[in-house]
Amino acid sequence: MMDDPEACGFDTAMRVIRGKWKATIIWRLHLAPRRFGRLRQLLPGISDKVLLEQLRELEADGLVDRRQDAGPPIKVVYSLSDYGRSLNEGMERLAIWGRAHQKSAVGQKPTSTL
């Protein structure tokens, strides 16, 4: 794939975080490690099944760490791995752009902070 002149690092990054919830999960974990139930509360509209699938995929891609503390009760905490934290700069830039776009969508002129 690296020999393909059309290959783009952006496309690769988007494949890793594609899906309705992954970017938001990464953002929430960037703020603090979270237990499953707290993540579910922070993501209204996500089902337990989808949240679990997304967390497993993020873990398989090395972006999320899962730590299970012996119980009772068993406590599972999800956090960003070092590799996952490396996405923060790009995610922050997207968030800044998104806030500027929100302002422009309601008739305010966006200010460039890039």
pLDDT value, residue 1: 46
Where is pLDDT greater, at 98 or 6?
98
pLDDT higher than 90, residue 99? no
> How does pLDDT run across 33-66, given as a tens digit for each residue?
999 999 999 999 999 999 999 999 999 999 999 9
Integer Cα distance of 61 and 22 in angstroms: 12
Integer Cα distance of 92 and 94 in angstroms: 5
pLDDT band at 26 (very low <50, low <70, confident <90, very high): very high
- SS3 state at 106: coil
The rounded mean pLDDT for the chain is 85
Pairing verdict, β 64-69 and 34-35 = unpaired
CB atoms within 10 A of CB 95: 13
Which residues lie below 8 Å from residue 81, measured CB to CB, with a gap of 6+?
Answer: 62, 63, 64, 65
Q: Looking at domain 9-81, which CATH architecture does it have?
A: Orthogonal Bundle (1.10)
Where is pLDDT greater, at 28 or 111?
28
pLDDT value, residue 111: 59
pLDDT value, residue 6: 61
Integer Cα distance of 91 and 109 in angstroms: 22
